[in-house]
Structure 1
Amino acid sequence: MLVSNTLLRSGFFVQRIGQVLTLAILLAGTAIADSGMPPSPSSAGAGGETLLRPFGEKMISVKPSGVYQQQGQVVSQQTKTYQAAKTDQSVIYVYSGGHYSLTDGYLNKTGASSNVNSSNMYGNNAAVLATQGSHVDLTECTVHSDGHGANAVLAYGEGSFIQVENCTISTIKESSRGVHATYGGTITVSNSTISTQGAHSAALATDRGGGTVKATNVTATTQGEGSPGIYSTGNIEVYAGNYVALGSEVAVIEGKNRITLNGTDITAYQKRGVMLYQSHSGDSVPGEGRFQMVDGSLTNSSSGPVFFVTNTTARVSLTSVDIMNSSNTFLRVVAPGKNEPDTLPQWGQEGGKVTFDAIRQELTGDVVTDSRSSVTMDLNEASILRGGININHEGNVDLTLDESSRWVSPSNSYVNVIRGAQLQDSVMANIDAPAGVTIYYHKMTDLNGSWLKGNYILTSGGKLVMN
């Protein structure tokens, strides 16, 4: 519809659209709209809310609608087929605290978004959209989208909740995530499959304002560039399941957010295995990103590192994870730059600061830092690192070994502090390097915390030299 008159004055935004007068009260970045009589649960007319939402310093218009839309109420349906083809139109749209359940449904979304930012943050054009504290339950459903900016399942706002069980979810075009929670929305998905083909289309995702996704026994495959299996600017918990990213890292965390995996198999084919970063785009709050994985497997089939951290503080915790690494680098911690794929210098030059905890782990590959970065690595319960540390002699790395863990360095390494060195008959029992390799250290303690000094010949012929 055409806007025939607009008046902005004293915090009130008055908009005449055709013959309908919409009064929106703009408070704290939120617009509340009254567009007349509420729609019936199955109406397909105008959406239930006309909103202005913040995007940086600008405001973008958000007007959700759905082929099936429901304001409030409690509705259950079975064996239904709904299709949406219009721009910015959802297939299912539930708002104002509604509860909607669908079993054995087929939901098909075509048609592109008019504004991808609006789609990714607020849910315009999503196949299934829950807002304003609404609940949607999907059981044994097929959800398919084939439109630019057509996320499959999206929960927007605090209290909005979507449950997905035994479903098949697929998206084709760019910026079309599988399940996606924003601004405090929550999604649980179990015993389901998710596939995405377009760029910037993660299988599990949260975006601006944070959100929560919990996934159990999900099989997911992403094909597009910049489409990880799991992308978090909120809290994502994954139990069991299998995630494969063919065109991207398999897991990505921005800012002070979290991914927790338990008994899950994840595989990355491009760029790196796992990335933690901060772009300062406004999508996430700066702070410590946390990646925790217990059991399962992590396969890095890319030429990049297993873990990459830039421009942020991060904590990585691994326990009994089977790791397969095709590259020579295990952990890379550096500032953004032109030589680092998918990073921009304008993000900042803070480098990275990483705490890395390994329990019952075999780690293969080098630990690389730059002059702006630091790593604190703890190896516990029979863990072993086979790789050089700070091989470029630029950053600051501290290493702690418990009584059962070891480090074997195949190349010259530079460590600030080594804690937990085991000296037996003047020979290091838990640090080794081959002949021709020298490990340089600044400070070193034994298991009791007593300081050790001096130079040592290692079991395989290498040297440990105080620097």
Structure 2
Amino acid sequence: MPAITRFGVIVGAATGLFSCLGNCQSLTTTPTLASTGTLTRSGVPTGAAPSGGPGGTPPGGGTGGGSGTVNSGTGLYVLTDDQVVSGGSYSCEANDTSVFIANGTVSATLIDVTVVKSGDTSSDDDSSFYGLNAGILAIDQAVLNITGGSVQDTGEGSDGVFAYGDSTIYISGTRINVTGGNSGGIEAAGGGTMYASNLIIDANNKAAIRSDRGGGFMVVDGGEYRTSGAQGAPAVYSTANITVKNAILTAAGSEALVIEGLNELTITNCTVSGNMGVSGTQELHNVMLYQSMSGDAEDGTSEFTMIGGSLESLSGCMFYITNTAAIVTLSGAELTLSGDSSYLFNVSGNDASNGWGSVGSNGGNATLNLSGQTVAGDIYADPISILNIDIADSSALTGAINPDGTTAAGLAVTIDSTSTWVLNADSYVTSFTGSLDNVEQGSYTLFVNNTAASA
């Protein structure tokens, strides 16, 4: 039988599988224990929601609306300060009810627990924004330590482990499997913080590593993070500051990585792949930086940095930037582009069918920094987009820029004396800085403001 400890001392032995059958919101008694227990059942307070209104639609996401107030629902087991729960299985089938919740200023620990969550959310937005119906939830200023064990979520809107507000979660060595709709693996939102290491996560319909309205801070080190759903189920979806290192990130039917608005994603020494399927009228892509206009992310510059590791696109262009400003920095990464697209980098507007800005003014304003980077593929910026390319620190680019002759709103290339650019077709830019000795034109021509450049 599992033991429940407090201050490192066993205070009660649980009677086996704790189940929540029916409406757990009305349960305020402690579960049956061999002696006085410390696990309690209680509700969770609500409050004012962060600002932000409805707008466009994130990929595969909800309406971008929300209830207007923080609604994190209730928890079957409300953890108390300094509590340690070691071993055992804990399940809940009720709607809008997490299995474990840590709130207030509580600091608690879960060790090798098995969490089984079914039951659905009454609001997909509240689940995404505030953790309603999550398997394990921390809110307020709570600090929750999770080691080992597993989380199995099958309900609609039921993220595996969720940090909201000023809470912090440390999680290591846990297996998370999420199969319900609008449900992801681990999430931070509303400013939540999460440190994760060596997790194995499988998610069907949303990102394995995700954030949502109000952002937060996430650091992930080691482990495997896999999704099987279509568009909207990348391995990582960032509306926060997220760092992932030494991990395997795989999206079997979706783009691999997404950043929305004024947020950051840094990938270091990871193996990353995506395989986006049919996307309607949108550009097939592997990494997208964009602004959905849903209110889930502030307007500003999306930043993506990849150091070492590998990034493979099995479908579509490698990078797609639309309706946002963006900075992409690549250093020492191995990039493999799919056979069905020659575009390494595509900065362009969209048809606004998802509410991502207005046609004619929803292009991108992007910077591509190559530092110690070897890469091949064509680059494109449409007439309503701006792109600055910096090739430096012994980098090598093989490919054409706007080979169809399109004149971008601005397309500047800077190359230093240690780097090379090999053309494989005529290329059209609006500005060039550096020596043409570092540009191997061969039988092709570099046009700067529609004038052929010659050494």
CA distance in 1, matches of 2:44, 2:152: 24
CA distance in 2, matches of 1:343, 1:385: 34
Counterpart of 2:149 in structure 1: which amino acid?
C
SS at match of 1:205: strand
Q: Which residue, 392, 407, 420 being the options, matches 2:434? A: 420
The equivalent residue for 1:167 is 174
Q: Which residue, 38, 41, 45 being the options, matches 1:49? A: 45
Instruction: Give per-residue Cα distances to partners, 1:68-106, cap 9 Å, x unaligned.
Output: 113x52200211210011001101111111112111110
The equivalent residue for 1:386 is 398
SS at match of 1:192: strand
Instruction: Identify, as 1 or 2, the structure richer in strand.
Output: 1
C-alpha contact (below 8 Å) 1:38/1:48 kept by paired residues: no
SS at match of 2:430: strand
The equivalent residue for 1:400 is 414
The equivalent residue for 1:117 is 125
Q: Would the alpha carbon gap of residues 52 and 286 (structure 1) be closer, same or farther in structure 2, given more than 3 Å must change?
A: closer
Q: Would the alpha carbon gap of residues 257 and 50 (structure 1) be closer, same or farther in structure 2, given more than 3 Å must change?
A: closer
Following TM superposition, where does structure 1 have runs of at least 4 consecutive aligned residues deviating by more than 6 angstroms? 37-40
- The structure showing larger relative contact order (alpha-carbon pairs under 8 Å, at least 6 residues apart) is 2
C-alpha contact (below 8 Å) 2:445/2:453 kept by paired residues: no
The equivalent residue for 2:19 is none
Query: How far does residue 284 in structure 1 lie from its aligned partner after superposition?
Result: 0.7
C-alpha contact (below 8 Å) 1:355/1:377 kept by paired residues: yes
- Does residue 180 (structure 1) correspond to residue 194 (structure 2)? The answer is no
Identity across the alignment (%): 31
C-alpha contact (below 8 Å) 2:447/2:453 kept by paired residues: no
Q: Would the alpha carbon gap of residues 94 and 455 (structure 1) be closer, same or farther in structure 2, given more than 3 Å must change?
A: closer
Counterpart of 1:66 in structure 2: which amino acid?
G
Query: How far does residue 381 in structure 1 lie from its aligned partner after superposition?
Result: 2.1
Query: How far does residue 197 in structure 1 lie from its aligned partner after superposition?
Result: 1.1
The equivalent residue for 1:99 is 107
The equivalent residue for 1:217 is 222
The equivalent residue for 2:346 is 332
Counterpart of 2:141 in structure 1: which amino acid?
G
Query: How far does residue 347 in structure 1 lie from its aligned partner after superposition?
Result: 8.2
- Does residue 243 (structure 1) correspond to residue 249 (structure 2)? The answer is yes
Instruction: Give per-residue Cα distances to partners, 1:200-250, cap 9 Å, x unaligned.
Output: x10111110111111000211111121111111110011111100112111
Counterpart of 1:301 in structure 2: which amino acid?
L
Q: Which residue, 73, 82, 86 being the options, matches 1:78? A: 86
Q: Would the alpha carbon gap of residues 146 and 366 (structure 1) be closer, same or farther in structure 2, given more than 3 Å must change?
A: same
C-alpha contact (below 8 Å) 1:66/1:84 kept by paired residues: no
- Does residue 366 (structure 1) correspond to residue 374 (structure 2)? The answer is no
The equivalent residue for 1:438 is 445
Q: Which residue, 74, 93, 96 being the options, matches 1:65? A: 74
Query: How far does residue 455 in structure 1 lie from its aligned partner after superposition?
Result: 4.9
SS at match of 1:119: helix
SS at match of 1:349: coil
Counterpart of 1:385 in structure 2: which amino acid?
L
SS at match of 2:40: coil
Instruction: Give per-residue Cα distances to partners, 1:259-293, cap 9 Å, x unaligned.
Output: 01111111111131211001221101101111011
Instruction: Give per-residue Cα distances to partners, 1:377-433, cap 9 Å, x unaligned.
Output: 1111221111111234231211111112111222221111111114xxxxxx32123
SS at match of 2:129: helix
Query: How far does residue 350 in structure 1 lie from its aligned partner after superposition?
Result: 3.1
- Does residue 293 (structure 1) correspond to residue 306 (structure 2)? The answer is yes
CA distance in 1, matches of 2:416, 2:140: 50
Counterpart of 1:406 in structure 2: which amino acid?
T
Two-structure CA RMSD over aligned residues (Å): 2.4
C-alpha contact (below 8 Å) 1:205/1:213 kept by paired residues: no
Instruction: Give per-residue Cα distances to partners, 1:312-351, cap 9 Å, x unaligned.
Output: 111111110011111300000011216x9x6745588231
Q: Would the alpha carbon gap of residues 153 and 287 (structure 1) be closer, same or farther in structure 2, given more than 3 Å must change?
A: same
Query: How far does residue 112 in structure 1 lie from its aligned partner after superposition?
Result: 1.0
Q: Would the alpha carbon gap of residues 382 and 62 (structure 1) be closer, same or farther in structure 2, given more than 3 Å must change?
A: same
The equivalent residue for 1:3 is none
Q: Which residue, 255, 264, 270 being the options, matches 2:261? A: 255
Q: Would the alpha carbon gap of residues 61 and 356 (structure 1) be closer, same or farther in structure 2, given more than 3 Å must change?
A: closer
The equivalent residue for 1:227 is 233
SS at match of 1:351: coil
CA distance in 2, matches of 1:264, 1:406: 26
CA distance in 2, matches of 1:261, 1:294: 6
Structure with max Cα Rg: 1
CA distance in 2, matches of 1:331, 1:63: 40
Please list every run of 5 or more consecutive structure 1 residues that lacks an aligned counterpart in the other structure.
Answer: 1-34, 423-428, 444-452, 457-463
CA distance in 1, matches of 2:302, 2:150: 34
C-alpha contact (below 8 Å) 1:66/1:91 kept by paired residues: yes
CA distance in 1, matches of 2:453, 2:81: 76
Q: Would the alpha carbon gap of residues 203 and 439 (structure 1) be closer, same or farther in structure 2, given more than 3 Å must change?
A: same
C-alpha contact (below 8 Å) 2:262/2:297 kept by paired residues: yes
